[in-house]
Chain A
């Protein structure tokens, strides 16, 4: 069975400091991995995805994520946090072999950036 774990309910960071939001996954085959961001009372916005190739993926708003197959992780990172980055972040996975199925989401991590 596929699953995603986001071990931290909340991450607090000061503006200008680097941030990391953690994600680990479990799939039977090779994974497709995604990060989304959600602002209050809005839908999810796509940030980036890992399909294959380079383990460091760059996405929207200066975010990047590093795929680590041996640790089954896909942590979201940003070199310098902004107050406007404060939001709810979701990691999601799909098994590469299961075409057409829905993404499996983690429970989300609230990022709070203080000024």
Chain B
């Protein structure tokens, strides 16, 4: 079945440590996104990528980094500069059909990151 796989499901970070969250999709989608979800705050955009080797900052990019070396993969690194990383992280992807923006985003099942 086609879909988006996020791993691990749970992740713990020590002080001063960088951690990387994996996101892989087999939907042949061009665009991929990372959101952070905190209780009562909805989803906030961290980074997004429309094509391979290109990505843009979202609303809360500070303390995070991404890469897009392959169409299928869009890993997110939470750096030690992110002082409050505890949250639920969601990866999504969507088609970019002829540049139109009417396609829904499809989501993975998330990674819950906590501080040790």
Across the interface, B41 reaches (CB within 8 A) one of A45, A101, A107, namely A107
Q: A89 to nearest B CB, angstroms? A: 11
CA distance A46 to B112 in the complex (A): 21
- Asked if A49 and B42 sit within 8 Å, CB to CB, the answer is no
Scoring A residues 43 to 70 as 1 if CB is less than 8 Å from chain B, else 0, what string do you get? 1111001010000000000000000000
Q: Which of A42, A49, A95, A106 contacts B104 (CB 8 A)?
A: A49
Q: Which of B13-21, B69-77, B95-103 contacts A (4 or more CB under 8 A)?
A: B95-103
B64 contacts the other chain (CB 8 A) = no
* Docked-complex contact B90 and A43, CB < 8 angstroms: yes
CB distance from A27 to the nearest CB of B (A): 11
Interface size class of B (residues with CB under 8 A): 20 to 34
Number of A-B contacts (CB under 8 A): 67
B85-115 vs A, CB cutoff 8 Å, 1 = contact: the mask equals: 0001010100010011110111111101000
Instruction: Report the Cα distance A103→B106, complex, angstroms.
Output: 11
Q: Are B90 and A44 in contact (CB under 8 A)?
A: yes
Complex formed: what's the CA distance from A102 to B50 in Å? 10
Q: In the docked arrangement, what's the CA distance between A16 and B52, Å?
A: 48
Q: A residues within 8 A CB of B92?
A: 43-44
A100 touches B42 (CB 8 A): no
A57 to B31, CA, bound (A): 25
* Contact partner, B42, options A34, A41, A102, A105, Cβ 8 Å: A105
Q: Is there an interface contact between B107 and A43, defined as CB atoms closer than 8 Å?
A: yes
Contact (Cβ within 8 A) B42 A108: yes
Q: Mark B53-65, 1 if CB is under 8 A from A, else 0.
A: 0000010000000
Contact: A49 with B102, CB < 8 Å?
yes
Q: List 5 other contacts, CB 8 Å, given A44-B90, A101-B101.
A: A42-B110, A43-B4, A100-B99, A105-B43, A107-B42
Q: Which residues of B contact A (CB under 8 A)?
A: 4, 6, 31, 33, 35, 40-43, 45, 48, 50, 58, 88, 90, 92, 96, 99-102, 104-110, 112
